């Protein structure tokens, strides 16, 4: 299945890959990137522009678009671009995202934009990141144990995401429908992006 690349913000996105001779990883903001970068460092995987040549094996980490949305809004508020919105409630940010997505940053871009037309050997889910990465044979478990924390993946700086989602259900659904339909399809059917 081919996914179109829907860009919603004004931030420039460069196509990058972290790789060594054997394994590559496509990073997606708000999907466990900091921990996965530490893992890549341990595996001598280096960040470089994507030139079209894929490594022998390729993996990515996808995330439930609902929780990624709330986490992305919270991340935006903490960064330079979003500093003027730090005290805004999530509801107001969701409304602004519906009408003016160009005001946001890469943390709110759809996951499908980063996935592009890549096909993956391993698709890990953020919600099960530790076990899914442990299941990749090219990654020694000892490295995963030292860099990936499932407990951290199950917590959020945004607070209780399930409560935030419930309190803003209509707006969240509207944003998901407008921008993140492909992400929902990929999350529910990860085999569509596998080799």
DSSP state of 20: -
Residue 10 belongs to some domain of the structure: no
pLDDT the model gives residue 146: 84
Whether the predicted pLDDT of 4 surpasses 60: no
Residue 9 belongs to some domain of the structure: no
Residue 2 belongs to some domain of the structure: no
pLDDT in tens, 159-170: 788 999 999 999
Measured in whole angstroms, the distance separating CA 68 from the mean position of its chain's CA atoms is 7
CB 150 within 8 A of CB 129: yes
Residue 3 belongs to some domain of the structure: no
Domain that holds residue 159: 16-193
Mean pLDDT over residues 118-123, rounded?
96
More confident call, 144 vs 119: 119
Residue 153 belongs to some domain of the structure: yes
Within 10 angstroms of residue 2's Cβ, the number of other Cβ atoms is 6
Q: What is the DSSP string of 162-195?
A: HHHHHHTHHHHHHHHHHH-HHHHHHHH-GGGGB-
Domain tally for the chain? 1
Residue 46 belongs to some domain of the structure: yes
DSSP state of 85: G
Mean pLDDT over residues 52-69, rounded?
94
Structural Rg of the chain based on CA atoms: 16
Residue 8 belongs to some domain of the structure: no
Residue 179 belongs to some domain of the structure: yes
* Mean pLDDT estimate for the chain: 91
pLDDT in tens, 144-195: 888 887 777 666 666 788 999 999 999 999 999 999 999 999 999 999 999 9
152 dihedral zone (left: phi>0; alpha: psi -120 to 50; beta): alpha
The model's confidence at residue 1, banded by pLDDT at 50, 70 and 90, is: low
């Amino acid at each position: 299945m081919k996914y179109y690349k829907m860009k919603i913000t004004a931030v420039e996105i460069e196509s990058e890959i972290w790789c060594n001779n054997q394994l590559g990883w496509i990073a997606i903001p708000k999907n466990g990137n900091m921990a996965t970068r530490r893992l890549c460092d341990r595996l001598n995987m280096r960040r470089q522009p994507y030139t079209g040549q894929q490594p022998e094996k390729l993996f990515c980490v996808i995330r439930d678009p609902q929780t990624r949305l709330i986490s992305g809004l919270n991340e935006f508020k903490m960064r330079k671009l979003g500093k003027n919105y730090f005290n805004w409630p999530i509801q107001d940010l969701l409304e602004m995202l519906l009408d003016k997505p160009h005001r946001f940053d890469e943390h709110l871009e759809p996951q499908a934009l980063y996935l592009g037309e890549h096909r993956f050997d391993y698709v890990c889910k953020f919600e099960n990141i530790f076990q899914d990465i442990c299941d990749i044979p090219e990654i020694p478990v000892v490295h995963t144990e030292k860099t990936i924390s499932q407990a951290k993946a199950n917590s959020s700086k945004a607070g209780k995401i399930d409560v935030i989602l419930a309190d803003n259900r209509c707006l969240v659904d509207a944003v998901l429908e407008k921008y993140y339909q492909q992400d929902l399809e990929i999350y529910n059917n990860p085999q569509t992006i596998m080799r």
